Amino acid sequence: MRKTLVAGLLLLGFCSLPCLAAPPPDTGEENGTGAPITVQAPTSLKVNVRGQKLYLRAYTTTLGDEFLVAADDPELYKIASLFGGKLSWDGDSLTLSCLHKGINRTLRVDENKVQGPSSVPGAQEAELALPAQILEDKAYIPLSAMEDFLDTRLTVRPNQVVFIEPLLRNVRFEGSAHSPKLILETTAPVTCKTFTLKNPDRFVIDIPGVVIDTPSLTVQHPDLGSIRLGQFELGPAITRVVVPKPRDAQIRAESSGNREVLSWQMQLSRPIEVATPAAAMEIQDVRMETTEKGHRLILTANEPIHFDWQRLGGPRPRWLMDVNHASFKPLKQEFEVNGKFPGTIRLSQNQPAPNPVFRVVVDLDAAVEVNTSAGQNERQLVIDILDKEIDPSLGLQKGHGSTQPVAAAGTSTVGGTIVIDPGHGGSDCGALNRGLNLSEASVTLDICRRLQAILKNQGWNVIMTRTTDVDVSYANSSAREELGARCKVANDAKADLFVSVHCNASVNASSNGTSIHYYKQSDYVLASQLQSSVINSTGRNNRGLQANRFYVLAHTQMPAVLVETAFLTNSTEGSLLNDPNYRQKIAEGLAQGLRQYAARQSWGTANK
């Protein structure tokens, strides 16, 4: 669990006390970082924003890359205006508001969530590592709130140098296959430089000062092949987009100067010598059934189904699923649902050839739980729409799935090098369930040992940050040293993946469920894969994927996730975590997700 700073109170020293005899105060917050996050010293930040240098008064924190800045600092307001945003401070409600592109988001003192309007999917409830707070009679906010306020990314360099940069949100093609238009969308106006490279011929777009934040680092074009996105530096960011260029293709910039949307019109004069794209798969049969628990949609295709799903929050919650490169002959089909939560389920050819997309939309009166699984064979996908309402405030959630069976344990080597990090240990016992005499450090170690055994058996090279009840750095080290030591294990090993395992805790005894945290763009696919596999294995409440700037996620150089397995402070989940069978289920769920993830990567089965 995480200990946050509340109103400037320094939570120090309790980690050195005997854990079970003298538990730390429960702050109700959790980030799995181990030691308390504390405010340190006043400092001056050099903040680089869109070519300008600003100086902000700030406090450093033990989180290293988080700072507290005064909510009324004029320089903060200038940063917002450089991104077209407008900040305002309300001294009565102690709330900082930011109006940016028509969306108003707020952050209140004592809260660590940037709140957005519920009508905008994904805009609500971004979580910060520590709350806005009063320090010496003045309101301070975490500087990283500017990421959520302004759609930006913050990068901290040595000597209190900070960069706040816009995001590259979308790379796509429009137009016909032979005269496609390449479109790049960013969250603030950018400039770029283009040039061509030889052997093989490539068209290169360099965009300084923008950070990649797209769902994937490749975009497929049926004739050109893979368009690759690369992040070369952060703070200042250098982003490169590389497009394969046929020798006699004409590429003309459509937009110039300083823009949020950049586009290039391409003319491909003759058919291109790339591998013929595989014929689109076909959704051949659709069946709808009523089950005891709700409704079931069964899709049958002519090959295994790989899909992406999304849940939109807000007043009209919807669950969507897309199957790329799939055709649906009826073009449209709709089912009325007259159960506990009435509504419709719509199936459609959402996009036509050459990049056909088949879409399922579950549009009911309430946000309900939707589970996906393989049917009788790998060509069949079962979508269970349960009469079970889920927390509507969860906001936008996304994930991937596949009906393709993964290699059975011990029969293949799909793994790369993975670092498993059992949260806490040694002088820091983490969260506690006093009734059960159970500490987070002991639970996470047992889950990770079980996971280690399964993965070793599957041929992964497994490295544990600890295998006994010890600190990874040294006893009573600072949060930064302890968490830094865990990141160092993974970075030094040049691991392919990093998984940190924790238990959650809350002052609210009813809080329950599993959440998976990611931070870097490269963490997202892994996080969504693990989410579905762990929930499938344990059947616990899904609290969703959460983007959080946790130390171990921000300081590892490979895809990394932090798993909050369940709440130690909840009586049901405390008992489950105390049960070896349940800990085995978590380990199996994680292993299953890792196998599926590895199978999708170039270092997976295909190359071994």
Nearer to Zn ion, 384 or 428 (CB): 428
Nearer to Zn ion, 33 or 371 (CB): 33
- Which two three-digit tokens encode residue 333? 């089909």
Task: Pick one of 244, 416, 430, 593: the residue that binds Zn ion (CB under 5 A).
Answer: 430
Distance of closest approach, residue 591 Cβ to Zn ion, in angstroms: 21
> Does the footprint of Zn ion cover residue 36 (CB under 5 A)?
no
> Does the footprint of Zn ion cover residue 423 (CB under 5 A)?
yes
Which part of the chain contacts Zn ion (CB under 5 A), choosing from 118-126, 378-386, 422-430, 545-553? 422-430
> Does the footprint of Zn ion cover residue 502 (CB under 5 A)?
yes
Residues 6+ apart with CB under 8 A from 321: 307, 308, 309, 310, 359, 360, 372, 383
Nearer to Zn ion, 35 or 526 (CB): 35
Which part of the chain contacts Zn ion (CB under 5 A), choosing from 6-14, 16-24, 74-82, 418-426? 418-426
- Which two three-digit tokens encode residue 248? 């006699």
* Residues 447-486: x where in contact with Zn ion by CB under 5 A, - otherwise, as a string: ----------------------------------------
Site for Zn ion in 85-124 (CB under 5 A): none
Residue 462 buriedness (CB in 10 A; 0-12 / 13-18 / 19+):
buried
> Does the footprint of Zn ion cover residue 593 (CB under 5 A)?
no
Distance of closest approach, residue 394 Cβ to Zn ion, in angstroms: 21
- Which two three-digit tokens encode residue 594? 């890792």
Nearer to Zn ion, 85 or 430 (CB): 430
The number of CA neighbours under 13 Å toward the Cβ of 489 is 25
- What is the C-alpha to C-alpha distance for residues 484 and 478, in angstroms, rounded to an integer? 10
225, amino acid identity? G
Distance of closest approach, residue 496 Cβ to Zn ion, in angstroms: 24
Could you identify the residue written with the tokens 């992964």? 460
Distance of closest approach, residue 480 Cβ to Zn ion, in angstroms: 16
Nearer to Zn ion, 3 or 221 (CB): 3
* CB-CB contact of 134 with 8 (8 Å): yes
- Which two three-digit tokens encode residue 246? 């046929």
- β-bridge mates for residue 55, sequence order: 46
Which part of the chain contacts Zn ion (CB under 5 A), choosing from 29-37, 159-167, 334-342, 582-590? 29-37
Q: How far is CA 415 from CA 411, 420, 529, 541, in A?
A: 12, 13, 15, 29
Distance of closest approach, residue 34 Cβ to Zn ion, in angstroms: 6
DSSP conformation letters of 19-36:
TTTSPPPP-S---S--SP
DSSP conformation letters of 281-292:
EEEEEEEEEEET
- What is the C-alpha to C-alpha distance for residues 131 and 555, in angstroms, rounded to an integer? 21
- What is the C-alpha to C-alpha distance for residues 190 and 125, in angstroms, rounded to an integer? 28
* Residues 520-549: x where in contact with Zn ion by CB under 5 A, - otherwise, as a string: ------------------------------
Q: What is the DSSP letter of 209?
A: T
Which part of the chain contacts Zn ion (CB under 5 A), choosing from 48-56, 205-213, 496-504, 509-517? 496-504
Distance of closest approach, residue 272 Cβ to Zn ion, in angstroms: 51
Distance of closest approach, residue 143 Cβ to Zn ion, in angstroms: 24
E-assigned strand segments in 338-486: 343-351, 357-364, 368-374, 380-389, 397-402, 417-422, 432-433, 438-439, 461-464
Distance of closest approach, residue 2 Cβ to Zn ion, in angstroms: 7
Distance of closest approach, residue 68 Cβ to Zn ion, in angstroms: 23
Could you identify the residue written with the tokens 């946000």? 367
- Which two three-digit tokens encode residue 121? 């999917």
Q: Is 400 left (phi over 0), alpha (psi -120 to 50) or beta?
A: beta
> Does the footprint of Zn ion cover residue 24 (CB under 5 A)?
no
* CB-CB contact of 419 with 495 (8 Å): yes
Distance of closest approach, residue 562 Cβ to Zn ion, in angstroms: 8
- β-bridge mates for residue 499, sequence order: 420, 561
Nearer to Zn ion, 1 or 587 (CB): 1
> Does the footprint of Zn ion cover residue 1 (CB under 5 A)?
yes
Q: How far is CA 29 from CA 2, 123, 560, in A?
A: 6, 21, 21
Which residue number places its CB atom closest to Zn ion?
502
Distance of closest approach, residue 448 Cβ to Zn ion, in angstroms: 13
* CB-CB contact of 201 with 215 (8 Å): no
Nearer to Zn ion, 461 or 476 (CB): 476
Nearer to Zn ion, 502 or 583 (CB): 502
The size of the interface with Zn ion (CB under 5 A), counted in residues, is 5
Which part of the chain contacts Zn ion (CB under 5 A), choosing from 32-40, 515-523, 524-532, 578-586? 32-40
Distance of closest approach, residue 365 Cβ to Zn ion, in angstroms: 37
* CB-CB contact of 110 with 133 (8 Å): yes
Which part of the chain contacts Zn ion (CB under 5 A), choosing from 266-274, 337-345, 429-437, 476-484? 429-437
> Does the footprint of Zn ion cover residue 32 (CB under 5 A)?
yes
Q: Which residues lie near Zn ion (CB under 5 A)?
A: 1, 32, 423, 430, 502
